Amino acid sequence: MSNATPQLITALDVPTRKEAEALVERMDDRGVFFKIGYQLIYGGDGLGLARELKRAGKKIFMDVKLLDIPNTVEKGVAGLAELGADFVTIHAEPHCMAAAKRAVEGTDTKLLGVTVMTSLDDEDLKASGYAYGVSDLVARRAKQATEIGIDGVICSAQEIEMVRDLSSGKLMAVTPGIRPKGSAADDQKRIFTPYQAIEAGAAHLVVGRPVYKANDPYAAAGAVNDEIHAANDAVTRIRPADPEDAAVLSDIDNDASKRFANMGGAFASAHLTGLTAAQYAEKFRQNELLWLIEHRDLPVGFVRAKPVDNLLYIAEIGVARAHQGKGLGRRLLAHMRRYARENEFKGLAGLTWKDVPFNGPYYLHNGFQEWSLDQAGPELRTLAASSDEQKLNTIGERMIFGERF
């Protein structure tokens, strides 16, 4: 499983830490990310569980929905940032967002402003004394969230497009109120299927009862993930890159390579960066093959390849960090396989780091085998022995991966 941030967030809305741990254990290889909220924090040692999950290298979303005087919000959020929370919720009121923002400065914690709860509709807002309906209140809060500069908002799928436009794409939209076809709405009013929410542009889906109350939570999470993948496929397309894309390719590559810095050790000290636009321009001159993958018309990933022996050699695959975990790399690989077959290559191959989770294990998980030097042809052996490869090998052990048709 890649270590990219998964799009499915499972709400651990269960009464005890023990039950939550059992659910985490069942879910783990579904690539989910866990949300800890009121029920576990106040009644089930949610903070202890959060620490344990962080120690185990998992992502945690602390759903505390803070709303208080600025000083209290700031101190509360600072405590959760210290704990290593990946996401923290606050209500999207201006003073509250600004205070929370001060608390996460310099940390990796992302702030999500709750706009209008997905259990509410226009009538409910009126009854609570608001002058706005749902759509207008979400719009107002999304504008304020953008001005203050927090990371994202919680809203329903029906407001995502508006949030994207109002924030010029700066706010990520995280959507609860997710109900696969046929499941009960419960107390939610603005509900959408996983497919609809991803198609609308949700960065993450928060799913509670449809997963943890299912007879088989693991299968239920798998079905949500299948819908997520299908919707992502529907909003992405692959096109050949051309020399005018050199700068975009460089931006994506530089962003993707920041992932190595987070690994620490030799990878962090190597300060790996992406290729420059000039280097990509050179790759086009050398007739290398480049394709871009676009998500809603925005280029977010690419693959670069060239013929080596009678194989299609995958020189690199890069996906911008905000778009990892959506199966885009898998789609690029499928594209390469199709292209290679149609153009009578005898297979695919590449060189990568053996132990970096999103390198060697990723390719092995996606149908490739590790090859010995003897299994490689003469040109691939020359590449494996090149001085560039020798340098990379000092950072971490390299391996050849390949597949013959």
Ligand X SMILES: O=C(O)c1cc(=O)[nH]c(=O)n1[C@@H]1O[C@H](COP(=O)(O)O)[C@@H](O)[C@H]1O
Can you say how many angstroms the Cα of residue 18 is from the centroid of all Cα atoms in its chain? 28
Q: Is 70 annotated as a binding residue?
A: yes
Q: How many CB atoms lie within 10 A of CB 272?
A: 17
d(CA 294, CA 121): 34
d(CA 113, CA 63): 11
If the CB atoms of residues 10 and 257 are measured against ligand X, the closer one turns out to be 10
Half-sphere exposure of 227 (CA within 13 A, CB side): 22
- Give the range of 110-118, 134-142, 300-308, 345-353 binding ligand X by CB under 6 A: 110-118
Q: Pick from 206, 252, 332, 383: which binds ligand X (CB under 6 A)?
A: 206
Token pair belonging to 400:
């050849």
CA angle 176, 179, 182 (to 5 degrees): 170
152 lies in the binding site for ligand X (CB under 6 A): no
d(CA 111, CA 145): 10
Q: Pick from 37, 201, 301, 327: which binds ligand X (CB under 6 A)?
A: 37
If the CB atoms of residues 11 and 380 are measured against ligand X, the closer one turns out to be 11
Q: Is 319 annotated as a binding residue?
A: no
Per-residue CA distances from 153 to 87, 302, 313 (Å): 11, 28, 41
Can you say how many angstroms the Cα of residue 195 is from the centroid of all Cα atoms in its chain? 16
64 lies in the binding site for ligand X (CB under 6 A): no
d(CA 364, CA 50): 31
10 lies in the binding site for ligand X (CB under 6 A): no
Q: Pick from 28, 68, 186, 233: which binds ligand X (CB under 6 A)?
A: 186
Q: Is 118 annotated as a binding residue?
A: yes
Helix axes 277-285, 246-261, angle to 10 degrees: 120
118 lies in the binding site for ligand X (CB under 6 A): yes
Known catalytic residues are 63, 65, 68
117 lies in the binding site for ligand X (CB under 6 A): yes
If the CB atoms of residues 155 and 293 are measured against ligand X, the closer one turns out to be 155
Per-residue CA distances from 201 to 62, 81, 346 (Å): 22, 27, 38
If the CB atoms of residues 124 and 389 are measured against ligand X, the closer one turns out to be 124
Token pair belonging to 20:
């939550």
Q: Pick from 53, 154, 157, 275: which binds ligand X (CB under 6 A)?
A: 154
Half-sphere exposure of 190 (CA within 13 A, CB side): 23
Q: Which residue is nearest to ligand X (CB)?
A: 208
Q: Pick from 4, 8, 11, 111: which binds ligand X (CB under 6 A)?
A: 11
49 lies in the binding site for ligand X (CB under 6 A): no
Residues making up the annotated binding site for substrate are: 13, 35, 63-72, 118, 179, 188, 208-209
Residues making up the annotated binding site are: 13, 35, 63-72, 118, 179, 188, 208-209
Chain residues in the site for ligand X (CB under 6 A): 11, 13, 37, 63, 65, 89, 114, 117-118, 154, 176-177, 186, 188, 206-210
